[in-house]
Amino acid sequence: MPRTIVQTDQAPAAIGPYSQAVRAGDMVFLSGQIPLDPASGELVAGDISVQARRAFDNLQAVCEAAGGSLEQVVRLGLYVTDLGDFAAVNAVMADYFQAPYPARSTIEVAGLPKGAAFEVDAILALG
């Protein structure tokens, strides 16, 4: 199955040897998005809610560049540096997703790129 690379300047450029997303057939595998401002490439200032909102905005931009939307996300991976932020992240996620919700995992990690407190990745099903 051929792969198509998805790239948009509406989300931060990759900061390593990876693509923002890769489409294979009707499935799109989105790389992790941290709360970087797409214009400056800098981490946004603010609490976990501000960081989660920016990361979800970045994820949404990549979904749209792939020809889809957040409504077509079938799986999310959420990564936080403090599981105490679980409720705040859930509240932000509720602004981006409605039932039926995608499958999801939430994992506490020791650290994230650029000192971010939040990261999200996803799988999008088109068609």
Residue 37 maps to which CATH number? 3.30.1330.40
Sign, Cα dihedral of 88, 93, 98, 102:
negative
- Asked if residues 55 and 89 have their Cβ atoms less than 8 Å apart, the reply is no
For residue 124, pLDDT over 90 is answered with yes
pLDDT band at 127 (very low <50, low <70, confident <90, very high): confident
Instruction: Render pLDDT for 32-58 as a digit per residue (tens, 0 to 9).
Output: 999 999 999 999 999 999 999 999 999
Backbone angles phi, psi at 83, to 5 degrees: -65, -10
Instruction: Render pLDDT for 56-101 as a digit per residue (tens, 0 to 9).
Output: 999 999 999 999 999 999 999 999 999 999 999 999 999 999 999 9
For residue 9, pLDDT over 90 is answered with yes
| Count, residues in the chain | 127
The SS3 call for residue 30 is strand
* Percentages of the chain per state (helix, strand, coil), in multiples of 5: 30, 30, 40
Q: Is residue 111 within a helix (H) or strand (E), and if so which, with residue range?
A: none
**In sequence order, what E strands does 43-102 have?**
73-80
- Asked if residues 117 and 85 have their Cβ atoms less than 8 Å apart, the reply is yes
Domain containing 58 equals: 3-125
The pLDDT assigned to 1 comes to 82
Work out how many domains the chain is built from and give that number.
Answer: 1
